[in-house]
Amino acid sequence: MNPVAQLLVIVAGLLLIGALGEFVFSRTGIPDVIWLVLAGIFAGPVFEVVSPRMLEPAVPFFGAIALTIILSGGASRLRLTDVAAAAPRGLFLAFVGFVFSVASVYSYFWTLTKLELVKPVSSLSWLIAGAIVGGSALVVMPTPAGARVDSRVSHLLEVESSGTDALSIVMTMVLIDLVVTGSVDLASPFVALAREIGIGVTFGLLVAAVLIPVLPALCDKPHGYTVFLASMLILYALTQLANGNGALAVVTGALLIGNASTLVPKVIPGAHPEAFVFTETARVMQDQMIFLIKSFFFVLIGLMFPTSPRLIVLGALGALVLLLFRIPAVKLSTINLGFTKKQTWLTIVAIPRGLAAGVLSTLPLQYGIAGAENFSPGVFALIVTSIVLFAIGFAVVSRMSDASWSAARASGL
């Protein structure tokens, strides 16, 4: 088939699968990510319609674009009061969840080494693997929103995802530096994390301060959302260049811009709140962009799935271990929140890893770390399994009523 025609057919297929997946999701509660990941697996490793090697160089670029679109869309619709309420526990869950994730991966590989199922490497290598997969996937944020999950759960997960992204990046780089150079300043992780957060928040505030005054001239225009998205992409790029956290910058800027209708009248008495609200057309455009980027993201994850049965099994078992270790992390982080069993388990099953982990998994090989040749394919196996576990668990838990949980508990389940 002509390459152009083949590409068009592939793109059309992805869009149709994404649309069908959302339709099935609305009827059954089964997240569309399952069908999209399966489409990528069949198009890549199974039938080799698309070569994964051809796409590997595009992973970091697509990851940045995907994060920006998803984050800006989600953050712009959040209310500051909701974020303020969820932030303390969300950040605590991010830290505790990250620590438990690193501990789970380290314990898992230590056990496999003792059983002689994998080649022995340094303990730092397993810690690096844990740091790489320690962060939650920001790109799954639309799923709880689409299913109308309790706002306390969705806000908690949104804050957690933003926090673990920074932790994964910083700790992975610190541990790699420790392996390569043999030494690292013990204060450097905290300094690096504080610097990333500070730069990210500062840049987000600056862009919001520049963009909010011109919102009345943009909100009712056909290209208002286009300007907003372009601003967020530039914000992400500039923050990364300044060695800050681009994801946090986008969250900060989009959150303030999305709440301009509430903030501006408090600062400027007499200002009309309606002038700072995007039209329904802009919201529709935003939803379509999120749909497109989400569809391509999950298909890309499927395309990168390894073909080695051994790596697939190891990655799948690793995802199950992550799920097991997440239970105490969530239990500890939600004490006294009054969560029902359903809300607690919705938080527990939210374990999917995403492109950030995939991008980070390529770094150990670049730095020549021993045993790193299997990092990337192993991580992608874990990513896919974690997404599938999330999709299945989310579908099952979200369809159960609190009465069902009470009945199960009474029966000893």
The reported pLDDT for the residue numbered 42 is 85
The reported pLDDT for the residue numbered 327 is 94
Q: What is the average pLDDT score of the chain?
A: 79
For the chain, how many residues are written?
A: 413
Indicate if the pLDDT at residue 409 is higher than 60.
no
Quick count: other Cβ atoms within 10 Å of Cβ 266?
8
Percent of the chain with pLDDT over 70: 83
Least trusted range by pLDDT, from 1-10, 121-130, 208-217, 262-271 = 1-10
Quick count: other Cβ atoms within 10 Å of Cβ 43?
19
The answer to whether residue 143 sits within a structural domain is yes
Cα–Cα distance, 179 to 369 (Å, whole number): 8
**pLDDT grade for 161, boundaries at 50, 70 and 90:** confident
Mean pLDDT of 195-222: 88
The reported pLDDT for the residue numbered 232 is 93
Selected residue with higher pLDDT from 74 and 391: 391
The answer to whether residue 408 sits within a structural domain is no
The answer to whether residue 345 sits within a structural domain is yes
Structure tokens at 162: 């933003």
The reported pLDDT for the residue numbered 137 is 59
Cα–Cα distance, 173 to 328 (Å, whole number): 27
The answer to whether residue 413 sits within a structural domain is no
Owner of token pair 């099994």:
313
Quick count: other Cβ atoms within 10 Å of Cβ 404?
12
The reported pLDDT for the residue numbered 96 is 92
Cα–Cα distance, 37 to 367 (Å, whole number): 30
Indicate if the pLDDT at residue 263 is higher than 80.
yes
Number of folded domains that form the chain: 1
Cα–Cα distance, 262 to 104 (Å, whole number): 43
Mean pLDDT of 168-181: 76
The reported pLDDT for the residue numbered 29 is 62
CB 33 within 8 A of CB 47: no
Mean pLDDT of 56-64: 71
The answer to whether residue 319 sits within a structural domain is yes
Quick count: other Cβ atoms within 10 Å of Cβ 269?
6
In single-letter form, the type of residue at position 58 comes to A
Read out DSSP for 259-288? THHHHHHHHSTT--GGGGS--HHHHHHHHH
Owner of token pair 């080799």:
48
Output the pTM of the full model.
Answer: 0.74
Handedness of CA 178, 181, 185, 188 (dihedral sign): negative
Mean pLDDT of 71-91: 79
The answer to whether residue 1 sits within a structural domain is no
The answer to whether residue 204 sits within a structural domain is yes
Q: Residue 151 is part of a domain; what is its CATH number?
A: 1.20.1530.20
Q: What residues make up the domain containing 79?
A: 9-400
| Best mean pLDDT range from 50-64, 176-190, 328-342 | 328-342
